[in-house]
Amino acid sequence: MTSAANTAPLWQPDADRIAAARITRFQAWAAEHHGAPADGGYPALHRWSVEQLETFWRALADWSGVRFSTPYESVLADPAMPGARWFPGATLNYAEHALRAADTRPDHPALLHLDETSQPAAISWAELRHQVGALAAELRALGVRPGDRVSGYLPNIPQAVTALLATAAVGGVWTSCAPDFGARSVLDRFQQVEPVVLFAADGYRYGGKAHDRTAAVAELRRELPSLRAVIHVPLLGTEAPEGALDWSTITSGAVEPVFEQVPFDHPLWVLYSSGTTGLPKAIVQSQGGILLEHLKQLALHCDLGPDDRFFWYTSTGWMMWNFLVSGLLTGTTVVLYDGSPGFPDTGAQWSVAERTGATFFGTSAAYVMACRKAGVHPARDHDLSRVACVATTGSPLPPDGFRWLHDEFADSGADLWIASVSGGTDVCSCFAGAVPTLPVHIGELQAACLGTDLQSWDPHGRPLIGEVGELVVANPMPSMPIRFWNDPDGSRYRDSYFEMFPGVWRHGDWITITDRGSVIIHGRSDSTLNRQGVRMGSADVYEAVERLPEIRESLVIGLEEPEGGYWMPLFVHLAEGAVLDDGLRDRIKRTIREQLSPRHVPDDIIEIPAVPHTLTGKRLEVPVKRLLQGTPLTKAVNPGSVDDVGLLAFYEELARTRKR
């Protein structure tokens, strides 16, 4: 068993920061009103939040001022997973809560938006509320009723936020894809849920170029017979196609929104899994569940409030966009950036943070590591004095990423809180991550989140401390899916999370919970490297190998072979000018042997032109493993979910040549 007790933290919040944190104020209030522990800091609060689950969520709803238009009968009528029933009897509306700040700060910016060429432009709370009101009235006039699906094929722009909120206001069910998704990928998602309205941009700008999407939109219109209306968003200045409504026409009036009061478990939106091995799972989350979970995450864990500016680099095809929009729930100004993460140069996201005065900066671990390799100096070259926290997700932030961020900001005198967070589309939230009152240790997520009974289990269902195990959640969370779309008997839902440990959510990640309560993510458990009984996550290999300046990106696969052997190749995408010679091969092997484990030195190191990813940026580990096992491409992966399907032919051919 490993101990984490003696390592010094990279960062420690000072007494003033701890005292000012909203989570500190919540704990004191919950101690007075709901019996939470007044002492013991975050560990005591977390323990109470999972041991007294119903009391915690009631306290959070009270403290956050959640407006139940009809009262709830109980907090948790049925705790069984799947199928937990939260706040039965209650009715509310997510959009009503997202627009509450319009009552107190009507002229303050709700949204700041910019693209690759523009300066930030503000939309006030009053303007946003009136646009949502006008659009909600138009949706009702088009016949949209509670439960109807409304879809968006839009980039990360204010129109997308307005459309989501107007959909929620009328009780509709929102779903979106980014316009860089091809028509086939979008149809794989939207055809499942049969939307009645489509909001569609004529194109988008990315990497200094305009990308016309009118042909893709025309294909969506042809292939979605459920559509009653199409609303044209002319980002490239084109006229609305025949039969489509124009955005500006239907949102021009100043209308007070009418908020449909819906049951707590009424569907809010549909998100999609990456869909690498078949049709993407259409994941349905509820208005009330998302409202409470995001209030918890954004107010308590991210420490966001009305004077903050919240930026996370994302697209409408990723759950982080939905999470970003929920910043409105805390009265925070949300920053929307529509453009490439690295244009005109690698430091582009830091420039966005500077120009918008972001206080909370969210990005991917991959972007942080790309900046480190490119020699970017964010705090030296940009005024980031307002940035209190840099948060990362998408993959584990390697230890070198922690050190680099800390050192870059420390050199400018900043006291930077670094929050590596991990969760999933499946819950549209984090299982573990940011806690403003706890220290940060290199390579570790600070703690499990409140109300999240996060555990690491061995194959027999025994909890582990200090050892690698399966990430499980042993009690329900309000934002867990209420169902999958087109899964009438719930079998696909059960198979996805509850097959290994019935009644307990198994997420599919390897984690270690340390003896101080911090969390280390090792990568997906379904692509785990298990050599001679020693398990290791792929993320550990990437972290070590990609420190080498010659390696741009890598992909490691562990392949169980029929005769009982185990083949572990490492595929490497080299930096420009690098050569995979014997010297580099030896350095790669030595790095893995010394930093990880002699057992996990790859059998072969193979150069590839690029690493294949899903459309949301995840490495295609499991589909590549299936291809190498001889599974045909059509069965191993859904081509519409891959950023460059042409990269996969290499693995098919490699599987054939190895069999000879």
Task: Give the number of other Cβ atoms within 10 Å of residue 473's Cβ.
Answer: 21
> Which residues have CB under 8 Å from 7's CB, separation 6+?
441, 442
Which position has the token pair 């722009």? 157
Measure the CA–CA gap between 594 and 390, rounded to whole angstroms.
30
* Sites in the chain below the pLDDT cut of 70: 1-6, 275-278, 532-535, 562-564, 660
pLDDT of residue 368: 93
Radius of gyration of the chain (CA): 24
438: its two tokens: 């706890």
> Which residues have CB under 8 Å from 141's CB, separation 6+?
none
Residue 512 class from Cβ within 10 Å (0-12 exposed, 13-18 middle, 19+ buried)?
buried
pLDDT of residue 2: 41
pLDDT of residue 277: 58
pLDDT of residue 275: 64
Q: Is the torsion defined by CA of 243, 246, 251, 253 positive or negative? A: negative
Q: What is the pLDDT of residues 57-108, one digit of tens each?
A: 999 999 999 999 999 999 999 899 999 999 999 999 999 999 999 999 999 9
Task: Give the number of other Cβ atoms within 10 Å of residue 429's Cβ.
Answer: 29
pLDDT of residue 562: 65
Contact 544, 595 (CB under 8 A): yes
Measure the CA–CA gap between 53 and 48, rounded to whole angstroms.
8
> What does pTM read for this prediction?
0.88
Measure the CA–CA gap between 535 and 525, rounded to whole angstroms.
9
Instruction: Report long-range pairs for 98-106 (Cβ below 8 Å, ≥24 apart).
Output: 98/165, 98/168, 98/325, 98/326, 98/328, 98/329, 99/125, 99/128, 99/129, 99/132, 99/165, 99/257, 99/328, 100/331, 101/125, 101/306, 101/328, 101/331, 102/126, 102/128, 102/129, 104/331, 105/306, 105/331
Task: Report the alpha-carbon angle 119-121-122, nearest 5.
Answer: 150
The length of the chain in residues reads 660
| Cβ burial 513-552 (10 Å sphere, 16+ → b, else e) | bbebbbbbbbbbbebbbebeeebbbbbbbbbbbbbbebbb
Which position has the token pair 């399966």? 470
535: its two tokens: 């398990």
Measure the CA–CA gap between 369 and 552, rounded to whole angstroms.
10
527: its two tokens: 């692509």
- Give the start-end residues of each E strand in 467-603: 468-473, 483-484, 505-513, 519-524, 529-531, 534-536, 551-556, 559-560, 566-567, 569-574
Pick left, alpha or beta for residue 379 (phi over 0 → left; psi -120 to 50 → alpha; otherwise beta).
Answer: alpha
The DSSP element (H or E) to which 635 belongs, if any, is helix 633-636
Measure the CA–CA gap between 355 and 220, rounded to whole angstroms.
36
Measure the CA–CA gap between 131 and 487, rounded to whole angstroms.
35
Measure the CA–CA gap between 593 and 562, rounded to whole angstroms.
27
SS3 call for 520: strand
Question: What is the DSSP-derived secondary structure letter of residue 603?
Answer: S
Measure the CA–CA gap between 299 and 135, rounded to whole angstroms.
28
Which position has the token pair 């119903």? 54
pLDDT of residue 1: 35
**Rounded to the nearest 10 degrees, how much is the dihedral formed by the CA atoms of 367, 182, 311, 398?**
-20
User: Which residue type does 163 have?
Assistant: A
Task: Report the alpha-carbon angle 153-156-158, nearest 5.
Answer: 100
Q: What is the DSSP string of 285-314?
A: EEHHHHHHHHHIIIIIIS---TT-EEEE--
